[in-house]
Amino acid sequence: MSSTDSKMLKYAKQIASQAIAFDRAKNYREATINYIKAAEILVECTKYTKNANMKQMWSDKAHEYLDRADELKSMGTKRVRLRSSLSGKSTSVRKDSEEGEAEGEEEELTEEELEMEKMVMGTVLIEKPDISWEDIAGLPDPKQALREAVVLPLKRPELFTGARQPWSGILLFGPPGCGKTMLAKAAANEIKCTFFVADSASIMSKWLGESEKLVRALFDVARRKAPSIVFFDEIDSVAGTRGGASEGGGERRLKTQLLQEIQGVKGGGSTAKKLLTIMAATNRPWDIDSAFLRRFERKIYTPLPDIDSREAIFAYHTRGIDREQSVDFRELAEITEGYSGSDIAIVCREVIMRPIRELDKMGSLEGNSDVQVRPINRDDFDHALRKIRPTVSEEEIQRFEDWREEFGG
């Protein structure tokens, strides 16, 4: 068993024991969520092991957890008000409390609808992102494109009338580690809306047989809470080419459902209140089914950072740390062509940890509270840059450029 497998297994166990603890404490909602999550991880584990006994054992365990989750779900609740049932945990991020209707809205839901809502809440993260534009160094073009496509229609709906309609679907694409997820979050952060982050892997958990219903429920909730953004991160895992040999029936139905829902979303209309925007990100745009691609009218390319952006990323990821004169961000940016934002972030982390590591090796950190940490210097960067190489190859970049040429963005 590889170390990744054993880590996953350990994680599954941890989640399962949380589920059991919640179950005992009669917190059935959290218990259900954790049972399902543990089962999901176990199913992932079974995919990667060749050992038939292990496979069987984990699969049995996963079934056991799912059975318990089903049992808990079917214990059901009477017709209840969504708000009161979810009020234990503030999941909605609406900020527009001045709009009385939004806050005061208490919709009667049927038992089934409520269950589905709960499932959505368990699978989909509804969050107020804590990333702002300032946290994203450089990348002026993607930032501007996103402002235009997402922020303006929601902030200034009156500008989008007549033929000038907002885009209903926006796809961020580009090499890994170049800020796509960050950009989506920053856009959502700037506007007053409910932000659903659909974790594609959970949605794909087709063996639950519920993912279609979940997709429908997700869009229902999103419409009810509009203006909202539904963000499918790493959408290639749910919107891959349909009809492949490896595709199961559940998977096909899920994709069809998702496509239907996305097709049903029309950008805006005249009032921002109704606006439901679909956003997605991928680092494998060529894997996305063409029917899905068509729905993302606006494609935004987030390339590797250029020299100015790299300079800004170095500065951002070493902020608040003393440095010697020998550290020149411009020069570092010059020698790091081909590094992604995330590569540079890792270099910086290595650099700023080095002085601490030295002290620790000398034993100076033991019981010594007023120890002096030296400033970082150029040698720290050289050392880190030798160790950490760019993760994205030139061929991959070419592939993005070619795709962009063909599909736009």
Ligand X SMILES: Nc1ncnc2c1ncn2[C@@H]1O[C@H](COP(=O)(O)OP(=O)(O)OP(=O)(O)O)[C@@H](O)[C@H]1O
The DSSP line for 334-390 is: HTTTT--HHHHHHHHHHHHHHHHHHHHHTTTTTT-TTPPPPPB-HHHHHHHHHH---
**Interface with Mg ion by CB under 5 A: which range of 37-45, 173-181, 265-273, 358-366?**
173-181
Q: Which residue lies nearer to Mg ion by CB, 143 or 180?
A: 180
# binding residues, Mg ion (CB under 5 A): 2
Terminal Cα-to-Cα distance of the chain (whole angstroms): 42
∠ CA(13), CA(17), CA(19), 5° rounding?
115
Q: How far is the CB of 328 from ligand X (least distance, A)?
A: 19
299 binds, among ligand X, Mg ion, none (CB under 5 to 8 A by kind): none
Binding-site partner at residue 345 among ligand X, Mg ion, none, CB < 5 to 8 Å by type: ligand X
Q: Residues in the site for ligand X, rule: CB under 6 A?
A: 136-139, 176-182, 281, 283, 305, 309, 313, 316, 341-342, 345
Q: Tell me which of Mg ion, ligand X, none is bound by residue 250, counting a contact when its beta carbon lies within the kind-specific cut-off of 5 to 8 angstroms.
A: none
Give the CA angle between residues 166, 167, 170 to the nearest 5°.
140
Name the minimum Å distance from CB 204 to ligand X. 16
Residue closer to ligand X (CB basis): 251 or 343:
343
Residue 179 vs 227, nearer CB to ligand X: 179
Provide, rounded to whole angstroms, the least separation between the CB of residue 260 and ligand X. 26
181 binds Mg ion (CB under 5 A): yes
CA dist 188 and 182 (Å) reads 10
Residue 191: CB minimum distance to ligand X, A: 19
- Kindly tell me which of 34 and 340 has the beta carbon lying closer to Mg ion: 340
Q: Least CB distance from residue 23 to ligand X, whole Å?
A: 34
Residues 6+ apart with CB under 8 A from 194: 92, 93, 94, 126, 222, 225, 226, 227, 228, 229
Least CB distance to ligand X at residue 338 (A): 14
Residue 154 binds which one of ligand X, Mg ion, none, with CB within 5 to 8 A depending on kind? none
Looking at the Cβ atoms of 240 and 355, the one nearer to Mg ion is: 240
Residue 181 Cβ, how far from Mg ion at the closest point, in Å? Answer: 3
153 touches which of Mg ion, ligand X, none (CB within 5 to 8 A by kind)?
Answer: none
Give residue 219's identity as a one-letter amino acid code. F
Helix (H) or strand (E) holding 58: helix 52-75
- Cα–Cα distance measured from residue 225 to residue 8, given in angstroms and rounded to the nearest whole number: 35
CB nearer to ligand X: give 205 or 309.
309
For ligand X, give the closer residue by CB, 251 or 311.
Answer: 311
62 in helix, strand or coil?
Answer: helix
Contacts of 140-149 with CB under 8 Å at 24 or more apart are 142/172, 142/179, 142/183, 142/300, 142/301, 142/302, 143/183, 143/186, 145/298, 145/300, 146/170, 146/172, 146/183, 146/184, 146/186, 146/187, 146/300, 147/187, 149/298, 149/300
Task: Pick the closer one to ligand X by CB: 226 or 235.
Answer: 235
Contacts of 24 (CB under 8 A, 6+ apart): none
Q: Rounded to the nearest whole angstrom, what is the least distance from the CB of residue 281 to Mg ion in the complex?
A: 5
Binding region for Mg ion (CB under 5 A): 180-181
